[in-house]
Amino acid sequence: MADGEDDSSPNLSISLSRQTLIRGKKRKITLHSMVLRRRNSGQADPAEPPTVQTSTPVSSSVSYFQSVPVQTDITDMAARKRYELRRRRSLQHSEGDGCVTSNMAATADEKSVGPLRKRIKGDPLTEAQSSLDLSGERYLSDSSIDILPDEIFMKIYSFLYEGDLLTCSAVSRRFYRLSNDLNLWKILYHEAFEYRIPLYHPEPRKFEFREVGRWRDTVNPWKESFRQLRQGVHIRFGSAHIYEGHIGRNILHFKNLTDAVEHCEQLPNEVEKLIFLHEGIYASTQLVIDTPLQIIGAGASRNFQDSVIIDSNSGTTITYVEGAEHAYLGFCTVKYMEPPLEAMRVGNGQHLCSALVINAFASPLIEHCSFSSTCSGGATVCVKHEGANPYIKNCSICGSDNVGIYITDSATGTYEDCEVARNTLAGVWVKNKANPYFRRCHIHDGRDVGVFTFEHGMGYFEKCDIHSNRISGIEVKNQANPTVVRCDIHHGQTGGIYIHEKGRGQFIENRIFSNQFAGIWITSQSDPTVRKNEIFSGQQGGVYVFGEGRGLIEQNNIYQNNLAGIQIRTGSDPIVRLNKIHSGYHGGIYVHEKGRGLIEENEVYGNALAGIWVTTGSCPILRKNRIHSGKQVGVYFYDNGHGLLEENDIFNHLYSGVQIRTGSNPKITRNKIWGGQNGGVLVYNCGKGVLEDNEIFDNAMAGVWIKTESNPVLRRNKIYDGRDGGICIFNKGRGLLEDNEIYRNAQAGVLISTDSNPILRRNRIYKGRAAGIEITNGATATLEGNHLFQNEFGGLCLASDVRPIMRDNLIYDNHNAVDRTIAKGHCLFKISSCTSFPMHDFYRCISCNTTDRNAICVNCIKSCHKGHNVEFVRHDRFFCDCGAGSLDRQCTLQSETRDNDTVYDSATPTESETT
């Protein structure tokens, strides 16, 4: 550097030795030191690269972003001018010819030898100003340095550090371009940070690895990342030489984590506190952090965070306390390895240590870390006390000998995209009014419950995948009240969700499936809200409410479970509404052992057994449900099952729409019961019940069956369009039939048989395709004030020896088709076919060797069996076997046997078995 030159001015000293041929003669050129000078204008040339200003740490001899002056005062330039550039006339070229301009410099002695330049006529002041108004860029274009190729500069730059490159970048546009080469900065970046991808760090606590092509508005991502991370200190075993002893590098290096933390704690708060923890095991480390300290792992491997290990065996590894509101921990592994002696003390309730503890009013951001602990008690990660509010994301808490994450004492926090797996105790504990927020976490394969909330614990769990835990996926206990939304809870080895001991909670839009036991258990006065979930493919039931459980079960889709979709028992009283319960391999809803519940507006269909079972003293309210297309019964009351069945649509079942038996006594009102392949309502085996204001129609068999000493009350029902009879009362059946309308049925409006004795009062029985009322087989009845009219076979048909009690009945306008057919001499089979049973005098033919089971109408006796030895059987309901062609003799009155399959036989209804 020339004497008297200011130290702050950047000088580029280049020694050149070259020979130039001028006019055929060799001329020796003297060595020079060339000074690059900027324009003396007050403003920077807009074509020049910008000058970057940064503060220089005291410990650095060369600044990382040093201020480089690009402007020199005219007077200083004139005073310090030692050399003049002079242009050789013989080597001057036009600037537009694309050739490199060759320049030569002369010493002061050579200047006096002869005329060295041709002066341009003009004002001397203008000439002086023009002489001084030479920029560094013009100088380079006229100097010998410009002829050096880029490869030489790149080779030189490859030996420089980041501070040197920044200094060079402020010299000229060419230097700026070359010193910002991507490969140069990538090599420097790999050497200092080891990362394979540049790390984006625009602000504290934000770190993101971005591929080079994803950096917007950034020409050199490696350089920009270097700038963003420049204030960090490094801990890298055996690599101090990379960071220390270099003039062009200002990066601090420490031998251990404790010293680095102490250094950062002494920095003022306005200075970023950042530690790069390179691959290695940092053993016996116990950190207590109360500042906004940022610790991030660094390494060259793809999964380097697994090789950056912070370990402790004497106490909690990392503890965040008040003051760590903006702390950061990322891309490393934190362990607590308990020594054997400490394990024995833990058994006595002492020395519970964790890998990570976050105390009151600490809110660090922790991401891409792994935590584990071999402590047999306590938790791997513990968040406790009010104000503790960490943000933990993309972390792994796996393989610990205790609880994965323990959140207690009003602590909160956000936990995103974490994996909690294979822990000995629960994956997550939430206790004592703690209220964390879990999103997209994977909690699985625990040897206990997945998530355990208890003692007023809360929490919000969204889009988590909870599965394959040894107990239930989620357990809620002791008035805990979590919210679980859009989670997958499946393959639990006992169940999906277990809510007990006054537990609460909201479970919304989850998928609960393939659990070994019930998808959801609700017991011991618990009262959760279960809404809009899919509960399916359970090895047992869908929702199981027992032990005085309650709850709102609403708008769920419950299907393909091996046991009942919803089971309610032992005094439980939930609200079940707007659910779809279908395609189960058992029943739809099973209420037993004094269970109750409000069951309304559900759709129950396609189940293998009954749509709804009510038994053993249970008394639910079933209202406005659609119960249909079952493979057995629609609603089944048995063994003292009671309840209210109101305003339901019950249709298209393979068996009866409703069955009542064995002491059951429900109230069935304002329902529509239709389309049953067996019958509408079947009351048998001492069943009771009150059926009021129902519509019972279009059933394949009788609208109502009453049999085997059953005694129901039927009042104000409409029983019509049945493909068999309206009401059939068999086998000592009784009952009160009052104010019903029974019409347009294929068989008798009311059929009373086999020792039955009902009371019929004020019923209207009309337009039947057989008789209005038929009484046979030793049955009797009390008939009071009934209207029997417009029935095909007659209003009232009584078999032999039948003596009913009759008062004030009106029998009129019936068609009496049986009497008319007999009067015309036709066989009664003409009007009955094989599926109807007109009541008249029937005989047997001794000559034709017929039995008591063969009946022959009176006209066939007169015609087909004329002169035979015949015997009167009785006045009863039969079809004529002669006309049907079932005898050896061909009927002369009936040309061919007809069978009308549109009318079904009065077969015995199928009874459901208790499974």
- Report the 3 state secondary structure along 753-810: CCCCCCEEECCEEECCCCEEEEECCCCCCEEECCEEECCCCEEEEECCCCCCEEECCE
Residues 457, 492 within the same domain: yes
Instruction: State which amino acid sits at residue 174.
Output: R
- Beta-ladder partners of 467: 444, 490
Q: Which residues span the domain enclosing 379?
A: 252-412
Confidence of residue 895 (pLDDT cuts 50, 70, 90): low
Give yes or no: residues 259 and 407 share one domain: yes
Residues 264 and 387 placed together within one structural domain of the fold? yes
Q: So what's the pLDDT on residue 831?
A: 84
752: confidence class by pLDDT, cuts 50, 70, 90: very high
Q: Tell whether 802 is covered by a domain.
A: no
Long-range contacts of 243-246 (CB under 8 A, 24+ apart): 243/192, 246/161
d(CA 546, CA 628): 26
Percent of the chain with pLDDT over 70: 81
DSSP state of 912: P
Mean of pLDDT values over 472-488: 98
In the chain, the largest separation of any two C-alpha atoms, in whole Å, equals 172
pLDDT at 145 over 50: yes
Same-domain status, 482 and 516: yes
Domain assignment present for 536: no
Q: Which residue has the higher pLDDT, 811 or 144?
A: 811
Q: Which structure tokens are listed for 190? A: 């790999």
Asked if residue 556 and residue 498 are part of one domain, the reply reads no
Whether residues 555 and 670 fall in one domain: yes
> Which among 251, 275, 306 is the end of a domain?
251
Mean predicted confidence (pLDDT) in 181-195: 96
Q: What is the Cα–Cα distance from 710 to 663, expressed in whole angstroms?
A: 9
Q: How far apart are CA 379 and CA 356, in angstroms?
A: 9
- Give domain status of residue 58, yes or no: yes
Q: Do 121 and 152 reside in the same domain of the chain?
A: yes
pLDDT band at 112 (very low <50, low <70, confident <90, very high): very low
DSSP track, 180-220: T-HHHHHHHHHHHH--SSPEE-SSTT--EE--GGG-TT-S-
412, 445, 465 - which closes a domain = 412
- The rounded percent of the chain whose pLDDT value lies above 90 is 69
Residues 507 and 398 both lie in one domain = no
Number of domains, the chain: 5
**Residue that is written with structure tokens 């038929």 in the block:** 774
**Which DSSP letter does residue 727 get?**
E
Quick one: 201 and 317 in the same domain? no
Task: Give ∠ CA 52-57-58 in degrees, rounded to 5.
Answer: 135
User: pLDDT for 689-715, tens place per residue?
Assistant: 999 999 999 999 999 999 999 999 999
Residue 373, domain member (yes or no): yes
For residue 805, being part of any structural domain is answered with: no
Structural domain includes residue 837: no
Asked if residue 497 lies in contact with residue 518, where contact means CB atoms within 8 angstroms, the answer is: no
Residue 171 has pLDDT above 60, yes or no: yes
The pLDDT mean for the chain works out to 84
- Could you tell me the two tokens for 292? 């906004």
Dihedral angle of Cα 552, 555, 558, 564, to the nearest 10 degrees: 40
Taking Cα atoms as reference points, which of 207, 209, 187 lies closest to residue 198?
A: 209
Of 551, 469, 544, which is closest to residue 503 (Cα–Cα)?
Answer: 551
Q: Are residues 184 and 118 in the same domain?
A: no
User: Which residues make Cβ contacts (< 8 Å) with residue 134, sequence separation at least 6?
Assistant: 37, 39, 85
Burial 792-809 (b: 16+ CB within 10 A, else e): bbbbbbbbeebebeeeeb
Does residue 892 fall inside a structural domain?
no
Position 466 pLDDT exceeds 90: yes
376: confidence class by pLDDT, cuts 50, 70, 90? confident
Task: Note whether residue 753 is domain-resident.
Answer: no
Same domain? For 260 and 233 the reply is: no
Query: Which phi-psi region, left, alpha or beta, contains residue 397 (left: φ > 0; alpha: ψ -120 to 50)?
Result: beta
- Over range 443-458, report the average pLDDT: 97
- Provide the 3-class DSSP secondary structure of residue 265: helix
Please check the confidence at residue 23 and state whether its pLDDT lies above 80: no
Q: Please state whether beta strands 575-577 and 598-600 pair in parallel, antiparallel, or not at all (unpaired).
A: parallel
Q: Would the pTM of this model clear 0.75, i.e. be above it?
A: yes
Q: Is the pLDDT of residue 813 over 60?
A: yes
- Are residues 516 and 554 located together in one domain of the fold? no
Residue ending a domain, choose from 474, 499, 525: 525
CATH number for the domain harbouring residue 650: 2.160.20.10
